[in-house]
Structure 1
């Protein structure tokens, strides 16, 4: 598929917005200096021209940037050399227009990267938009909405809140809920700098290696693997058959993540005594005291890690890996969150956060992120919901994202039914391991 860029403009808020500086929190600054890329593919509209659709995107974007005004700002250092902050100056969001020579239903997974806007994360702060949008018109009708949002500006829940309200305004409706912009809404009680939580200790490395530098340079492969409803139920049944003293059944996410962990160990060919770390993110909005509003706009997640030997993970029942994941998540209490934030205060500097070697997710480690509870799917801007949505995986070994499967789920708004929908697992692994991983990912489900 070939893409031809047509135009690029800056879309500014439709009304004056607060002119202020918004300091980034410690949780913002350790979320990763990258842009989260998504695409939404829409079928041809019977009653809307492309020009009408593009104008709707542009005008509704201007309106939604009024309540979500930090996204129209730019970055700077507080006081010229302190911590990072967002200057809420209304400079705007980058909107590009493009044309594709392929039809909407001819788009392949290898084309996804061409449908998202290009953003240079290393650009000078005053010129770097925090949100970039690309509208691509397909041959014969249909469009793609491609977006990139800077992660330190918003976590998954904040991002999904923005996209849902943008679609609502595009449909001519009023804002359902305003974002809580104040990043000072949560602040850990002051305390002496604690020792690093396990999540910020050096992760395991391959047996015989002295560091992770070699693994960082190995070529990466990407894939999207689908799990049907029956396959998910099979995994849940297997995880819950021998759960021992674990109270309550293992969830869909725990079961899928345990399966991913085991398959990754097998695909990478780990020795039985190889240590491996699985990291996942936990939303803290309801776990702090007092709780944060669900519409808190920023990063309100902490990472937790489970470490174990590959031999135990692959030889013991699926419930063993699921139990190790639950143990890690159960640590996220108000005290744990305060300890984590106070540790971050002691290490987050003016230009960097945590050493890359401390958060390395590659071989023998991995990170699994759940988007199952985010309202990222079903965005209707006025011409129907998307045909499908996808996360455009970046080149990061051991990075997995679990998300609802648009293409293979019924168009049903029933919340109870949606809890049992099929899912897509976006996978990033070293090229040498990908084919083996894909084989055992499905083979092991049959065997359980």
Structure 2
């Protein structure tokens, strides 16, 4: 896709904001320290809007939303032993204007994701020191047909999915001329380790999410798997297919409670991946499940908590058990992992991280696959699943109507899955997945045929 960059601006808060260093919480200190992209496509009213007014509206509202969301205008700094600190210095975010000679029609009727999307989201130069990187980068691309895309990429070291969605929603509200709805809560001390510890170290749980994931049988490292070509697709599940999977998961006697659609679908994905990858029966495999701890804390985190409050929990199994036993077995393994995340579990994880001399081994820099430093790899034989089912990801209106389409943009890391609600509100779901190219066709086959066999 031909895309020409036309201008690049630094947008700063329109008013003076608090400046100073902020210690990140232990959950901010681990995980993916790179940026996560999302993209929205819009048709704009040709008579009422033009490229200049759209850009002006976005930049003006961005400068205003950065006042309450002032940490995003700052910069990260390494301090010692792999730990990060946030410098709230109002240096601003990056806003890029671009144009494409393509039309929306060139992207297909369903905006099927492809590598072309890479040109529609800002590129982050990770060769620069981390304190030189904006935490938010935005690209407005004007298409030949009059439509626009807004590509947004945010630092995962500063925000998780709920916080990113909060920021984007409030930005759109200000662009429409409406007031802020929910003020962000910035005191990250509520998730800091205590002194004395909030959970005695003797009662700390076993945090297997920090262990190295299993390797393929017979392998001593995952170097070969890291280098294999991957692709991204979005698969749709109709309301009927979702109900079929949920019914199937709850038929078989595993567990006493009914499994949710999330547990049923995630279990189905896990089983389908084992089949597609051709795992041996005794192959250990994990499914990393990302859980939002906001409502699991005692008391719950304040409304609008802005930062990382999601954490990993790991479901484990042998591939043979997942494939040979009913779907309810996979769902039961996921349920067990989710129920592990209690207030005490979260706080014991914080204490565990606090007592680590060096946090560098916990960083998941997925962009540095070819670097000498080998970060944790969650691809074959493992998976990771994120749910956006409850996030307000649709209906983001900057003043010219709701989006035609939104997508996690580039999401082609092997084994990474995102579950999204269908955009029409009809009970359907979307599964955005990254998988090795050699396994993709087999995965699609098992994914759909196994549902049809239960219908």
Deviation of 1:128 after TM superposition, in Å, equals: 0.5
Q: Give 3-state SS (helix, strand or coil) of 2:235's partner.
A: strand
Classify 1:373/1:355 alpha carbon distance in 2 versus 1 (closer, same or farther; 3 Å): closer
Distance 1:226 1:251 in 2: 18
Report the counterpart of residue 250 of structure 1 in structure 2: 259
Distance 1:339 1:300 in 2: 14
Q: Give 3-state SS (helix, strand or coil) of 1:379's partner.
A: coil
Report the counterpart of residue 214 of structure 1 in structure 2: 224
The answer to whether the aligner puts 1:109 opposite 2:118 as a matched pair is no
Report the counterpart of residue 192 of structure 2 in structure 1: 187
Report the counterpart of residue 415 of structure 1 in structure 2: none
Q: Give 3-state SS (helix, strand or coil) of 1:230's partner.
A: helix
Distance 2:351 2:35 in 1: 26
Distance 1:97 1:171 in 2: 20
Classify 1:192/1:314 alpha carbon distance in 2 versus 1 (closer, same or farther; 3 Å): same
Classify 1:352/1:363 alpha carbon distance in 2 versus 1 (closer, same or farther; 3 Å): closer
2:244 touches 2:451 (CA, 8 Å); kept in 1? yes
Deviation of 1:214 after TM superposition, in Å, equals: 2.3
Task: Give TM-score scaled by structure 1 length.
Answer: 0.93
Deviations 1:214-259 (A, max 9, x none): 2222221221111121211111111122244322x21111111011
1:29 touches 1:348 (CA, 8 Å); kept in 2? no
Report the counterpart of residue 176 of structure 1 in structure 2: 181
2:353 touches 2:359 (CA, 8 Å); kept in 1? no
Deviation of 1:195 after TM superposition, in Å, equals: 7.3
Report the counterpart of residue 368 of structure 2 in structure 1: none
How does 1:226-375 map onto structure 2 within 5 Å? 226-247=236-257, 249-347=258-356, 349=358, 353-354=362-363, 359-375=376-392
1:229 touches 1:421 (CA, 8 Å); kept in 2? yes
Report the counterpart of residue 396 of structure 2 in structure 1: 379
Q: Give 3-state SS (helix, strand or coil) of 1:97's partner.
A: strand
Q: Give 3-state SS (helix, strand or coil) of 2:314's partner.
A: strand
Q: Give 3-state SS (helix, strand or coil) of 1:27's partner.
A: coil
2:170 touches 2:180 (CA, 8 Å); kept in 1? yes
1:199 touches 1:304 (CA, 8 Å); kept in 2? yes
Q: Residue 154 of structure 1: which of 133, 155, 159 is its match?
A: 159
Distance 2:53 2:180 in 1: 22
Q: Give 3-state SS (helix, strand or coil) of 1:16's partner.
A: coil
The answer to whether the aligner puts 1:427 opposite 2:433 as a matched pair is yes
Report the counterpart of residue 410 of structure 2 in structure 1: 393
Distance 2:212 2:147 in 1: 47
The answer to whether the aligner puts 1:225 opposite 2:235 as a matched pair is yes
Distance 1:115 1:43 in 2: 16
Deviation of 1:177 after TM superposition, in Å, equals: 1.1
Distance 1:404 1:40 in 2: 15
Deviation of 1:405 after TM superposition, in Å, equals: 2.9
Distance 1:100 1:346 in 2: 50
2:210 touches 2:362 (CA, 8 Å); kept in 1? no
2:121 touches 2:152 (CA, 8 Å); kept in 1? yes
Q: CA RMSD in A?
A: 1.9
Q: Which runs of 5+ in 1 are unaligned?
A: 410-417
2:158 touches 2:307 (CA, 8 Å); kept in 1? yes
Deviations 1:5-58 (A, max 9, x none): 100010001101001111111101112111110000001324222221111111
Classify 1:202/1:192 alpha carbon distance in 2 versus 1 (closer, same or farther; 3 Å): same
Deviations 1:254-308 (A, max 9, x none): 1110110000000000011111100011111111122102311000112111110
Q: Residue 442 of structure 2: which of 415, 423, 436 is its match?
A: 436
Deviation of 1:200 after TM superposition, in Å, equals: 1.6
Task: Report how many residues are paired.
Answer: 435
Deviation of 1:73 after TM superposition, in Å, equals: 0.6
